[in-house]
């Protein structure tokens, strides 16, 4: 691997993007991070993530690249993926070898409130990335999808070959659309693309709208935590560093055309185009109640529990089959929830200065 290869990481002020940038800095790639820094959740957390990588809030200007004050192989630009002309110009000028698109409007429930945000970011923004890859000879596009694309499918474990045409939220529908859009560009323009279906990611520097964050905040403040589907939820909780290591190992594993792909009996996770789809999950699902119990033990506080029905857009169970990923890169996520939650709690108490 050429250590001076250049990577664009979108969503670099976000949860997974922050951790990925950290890993790629260590691996000596030349990295440009991009993020619009929207206010979907606390922007101070986003600015603090950027600061960890030497990006100063007071020097951030829209569409201007700022060099890191800490790392000579990292730069950042605040930009909107919907700004089609800027994204294309940036990608043509910088000549990225790889693009990792993590930028998206996240959140299942928010898609019920503000659906247009998902079209703007996840559809309109993604076409800018695809067009940029097309016109700048990018070697490999890796992009975030989600386990939510499986929707109404209840066949466990969920494998990439299973149908995913019945999403139950607009968020998951936009992510399924990303997979289809990527395939069309792989087919038409021979762009190697890899879509990653993430399963319930958690860990330090996480998103405040996600369950672990909401639980610990309520527990510390002696407020009830809301438990949906009356606690009968099972999730394939996946620690963020396992996600990041998987992405890192995929960067220079560009998909090639599957010569055995049969159009009369098509599989969904590969193609006659240079296209791949992978699950990334812990493949060891646990009940939500076990997850909460582990958090209680880690922080030493008993949660006050309130039980509610299943929310619109939620599924009762997820379980990732990651055998395809392991066969492809020789790695599978393996962090236990006990270790992962302990790492998160340690970070949370330190970040928010809680004794």
Q: What is the Cα–Cα distance from 21 to 10, expressed in whole angstroms?
A: 10
Question: Which of these, 41, 37, 28, lies nearest to 55 by C-alpha position?
Answer: 37
The neighbour count for residue 144, using CB atoms within 10 Å, is 26
For tokens 């021979």, name the residue: 190
Q: What is the Cα–Cα distance from 240 to 244, expressed in whole angstroms?
A: 6
Cα 42 from chain centroid (whole Å): 18
Classify residue 130 as left (phi > 0), alpha (psi -120 to 50) or beta: alpha
Cα 220 from chain centroid (whole Å): 27
Contact residues for 266 (Cβ-Cβ < 8 A; gap 6+): none
Which tokens hold the place of 121?
């970011």
Q: What is the Cα–Cα distance from 218 to 203, expressed in whole angstroms?
A: 17
Question: Which of these, 10, 32, 352, 60, lies nearest to 206 by C-alpha position?
Answer: 352
CB-CB contact of 21 with 102 (8 Å): no
Question: Which of these, 167, 133, 136, 174, lies nearest to 150 by C-alpha position?
Answer: 167
Q: What is the Cα–Cα distance from 11 to 108, expressed in whole angstroms?
A: 18
Which tokens hold the place of 123?
């559809």
Q: By three-state DSSP, how is residue 298 classified?
A: helix
Cite the active site residues.
171
Distances (CA, A) of 100 to 21, 66, 276: 10, 19, 14
């Amino acid at each position: 691997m050429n250590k001076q290869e250049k990577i664009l990481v979108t969503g670099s002020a976000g949860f997974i993007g922050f951790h990925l940038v950290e890993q790629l800095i260590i691996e000596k790639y030349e990295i440009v991070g991009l993020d619009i820094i929207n206010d979907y959740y606390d922007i101070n957390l986003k600015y603090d993530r950027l600061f960890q990588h030497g990006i100063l809030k007071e020097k951030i200007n829209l569409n201007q690249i700022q060099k890191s004050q800490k790392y000579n192989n990292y730069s950042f630009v605040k930009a909107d993926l919907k700004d089609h002309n800027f994204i294309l110009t940036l990608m043509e000028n910088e000549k990225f070898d790889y693009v990792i698109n993590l930028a998206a409007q996240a959140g299942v429930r928010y898609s019920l409130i503000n659906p247009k945000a998902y079209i703007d970011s996840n559809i309109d923004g993604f076409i800018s990335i695809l067009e940029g890859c097309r016109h700048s000879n990018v070697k490999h596009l890796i992009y975030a999808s989600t386990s939510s694309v499986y929707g109404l499918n209840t066949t466990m474990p969920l494998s990439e070959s299973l149908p995913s045409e019945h999403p139950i939220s607009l968020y998951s529908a936009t992510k399924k659309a990303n997979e289809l859009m990527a395939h069309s560009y792989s087919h038409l323009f021979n762009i190697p693309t890899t879509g990653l279906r993430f399963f319930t990611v958690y860990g330090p520097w996480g998103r405040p709208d996600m369950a672990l964050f909401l639980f610990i905040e309520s527990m510390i403040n002696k407020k009830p935590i809301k438990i949906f589907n009356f606690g009968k939820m099972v999730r394939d909780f996946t620690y963020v560093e396992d996600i990041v290591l998987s992405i890192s190992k995929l960067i220079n594993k560009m998909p090639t055309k599957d010569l055995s792909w049969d159009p009369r009996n098509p599989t969904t996770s590969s193609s006659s185009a240079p296209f791949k789809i992978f699950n990334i999950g812990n493949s060891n699902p646990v009940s939500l109640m076990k997850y909460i119990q582990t958090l209680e033990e880690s922080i030493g506080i008993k949660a006050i529990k309130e039980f509610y029905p299943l929310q619109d857009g939620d599924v009762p169970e997820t379980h990732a089959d990651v055998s395809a990923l392991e066969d492809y890169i020789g790695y599978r996520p393996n962090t236990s929830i006990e270790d992962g939650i302990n790492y998160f709690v340690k970070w949370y108490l330190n970040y928010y200065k809680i004794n």
